[in-house]
Amino acid sequence: MPEQHDGCGRECTICDEERESQPRIWAGRKILLISISAALLLTGLIFEFILKRRFEAEILFISTAVISGYEIAREGLSSLLFRRRLSIDFLITIAAVGSFFIGHGEEGASVVFLFYIAEFLEEYAAERARRSIASLMELAPEEATVKREGREVKVPVQEVDVGETVIVRPGEKIPLDGEVIRGISSVNQAPITGESTPVTKQVGDVVYAGTINNEGFLEIRVTKRSSETLLSKIVKLVEEAQKMKSPTERFIDRFSKYYTPSVIFLAVCVATIPTFVFGMPFKEWFYRALVLLVVSCPCALAISTPVAMVSGITSAAKNGVLIKGSTYVEEINKVRVFAFDKTGTLTEGRLEVTDIISLGHPEDDILRIAASLEALSEHPIAKAITEKAKEKGVKLMMVDNFKAIAGKGVTGEIGGVPYYVGSRRLFEELSADFPDKEARLLENEGKTVIFVGNQGKVIGLIAVMDRIRDTTVLTMNELRRRGVKTIMITGDNERTARAIAEKIGIAEYHAELLPEDKVNIIAKLSDKYGYVAMVGDGVNDAPALARANVGIAMGAIGSDVSLETADIALMQDDLSKLPYLIELSGKTLEIVKENVIASILIKGSFAVLAFPGLITLWLAVAVGDMGLSLAVILNAMRLSLIKSSIPQTKD
């Protein structure tokens, strides 16, 4: 179904079948008709004012009006007869016919011709928005090179099944979502995430349709069909977002609904009252009524908001931020508090070894013993310790009689000597001597301390910590600079939460929270500050994201749940997109305000000037409609220039 061009009463053609399938043919046809009409109108003006051959001029003016105005008249009558709506097309038709009726054929032809150009510009803006979605779809290639029966064959991506292996050579686009099963290469993910630095992909890593393989040879096992890829979901979300209306757009809709009938009533009064009440010339006041009809059409006002919102949403999508509707473009500008989950949001959600404290043994021996035991465990802390040993080139030893002690640690024999790796509680139960002072210092820094020792004493300490993201501190500083309060809400213990909050500069935090506790905190913040945004991973934080005025999910590139639960999704783990989002929202609303004010002032001024007869019909359309519509569209296009202001750092 085509979408109504609110207030104007014309059909907006974002989804029009003709334009959907053959946009170049549609545009070419319109431009051809405009060119023919321009030639006829210019020739008619020459015959009228230079050659003084009025009959031939009238024929040319009528021809111009028929060619330019056929679709306008058809749409205007259709709107009146079938939808019971007084559309701008109907007003223009009345104005053109009335102009010919009172002997101003040149103005009637000019009105229709200029309005036809204005209509084309508005439809082109809608087409441009549709093409911005199509350009996202075009990121993925139409064909894929697939390994079948030992041979490489090129097939349409729609025919590739899950589980098949596709081959991507250097410089080629990855056709479908999948997992690398052979090869290593850097992949440019900018088309999906907006990140500028290529990401190294090797066996086991996930890759996405539409991203670009830079220099290596990759074999990829397909995990999603073409209709289910991340890119397809992004396109669908942006399409749906463009259909959702913000409060400002809904207000403009309601305003336009009553505006057009009021203008027609006023025009009828202008045409009749001076003549029948005061005896003034009917022809003169009828002409002024026609000018009032034309100059008061609400098209520029009606598109002033949606064209800016669509531009903002598509610009954000190209920068790795998915906004699920213009409502959230408005609401993010009202947010005064950002509440952040800690793990996976402010931090990377990945533990790393930060300290190895030796107590009479070499550090490598402490790490070797701990890693040898932890290599047999699946705990996240165990993984961090074994990765540190691998990084330092420490060789592991054989472990006998390994045993996991639930909630406390692990034990096993190395070279016939029993060793323990675990928590403070484990060594307290062993009655072993351990350095409480050193452990407390590490714990006060928000680190988790792992004790390494035997039954008699602790021989070393290993501290692990969730790594703070590179952009976290810069983002918090930038948000505070913009007058936004930042709060951390986390399920972590009080000590860890306090240490992280101090490091990143967050004054207020709430620790040891269950998911339902986070919802209650968001509710209290909403009561206190009004508008609150919640930033989380979109999985554990789903209830809190839903309760906030704006829910923002981190790292949605790796989570289908994030795309579904959040109002706004950051495609990569990049907090610096938040200040960008605030700037984009503010700039979008600023442009909406500029467009609305310009539309009202210019049209209002022209309407006032129409009463004393200072505005002609062709000027009303050329400046008050076509010119204003073009200005509104060009103003909205400036949103594509906004970029993230925080420099990103990479390891």
Residue with tokens 């022809």: 283
Contacts of residue 613, defined as CB under 8 A and 6 or more positions apart, other chains included, come to 284, 287, 288, 291
Q: In a 3-state reduction of DSSP, which class is residue 359?
A: coil
The 3-state DSSP composition of the chain as helix, strand, coil percent (nearest 5) reads 55, 20, 25
Q: How does strand 143-148 pair with strand 400-405?
A: unpaired
Distance between CA atoms of residues 173 and 155, nearest Å: 15
User: Do 534 and 506 meet the contact criterion of CB atoms below 8 Å apart?
Assistant: no
Residue 611's H or E segment, with its range, is: none
Contacts of residue 365, defined as CB under 8 A and 6 or more positions apart, other chains included, come to 460
Contacts of residue 307, defined as CB under 8 A and 6 or more positions apart, other chains included, come to 125, 129, 595, 632, 633, 636
The first and second tokens of residue 403, run together, are 């045993």
Angle at 315 between CA 313 and CA 316, to 5 degrees: 65
Contacts of residue 80, defined as CB under 8 A and 6 or more positions apart, other chains included, come to 86, 87, 90
DSSP state of 344: I
Q: Considering the candidates 177, 341, 492, 541, report the single residue annotated as catalytic.
A: 341
Judge whether 341 counts as a catalytic residue.
Answer: yes
* Cα dihedral 254, 632, 110, 292 sign: positive
**CA neighbours within 13 Å on the CB side: how many for 511?**
13
Residue with tokens 């930060």: 354
Contacts of residue 520, defined as CB under 8 A and 6 or more positions apart, other chains included, come to none
User: Do 308 and 636 meet the contact criterion of CB atoms below 8 Å apart?
Assistant: yes
Angle at 330 between CA 324 and CA 334, to 5 degrees: 125
170 residue type, one letter: P
Q: How does strand 532-536 pair with strand 337-340?
A: parallel
Q: Which of 604, 603, 589, 600 is nearest to 635 (CA)?
A: 589
Which residues belong to the active site? 341
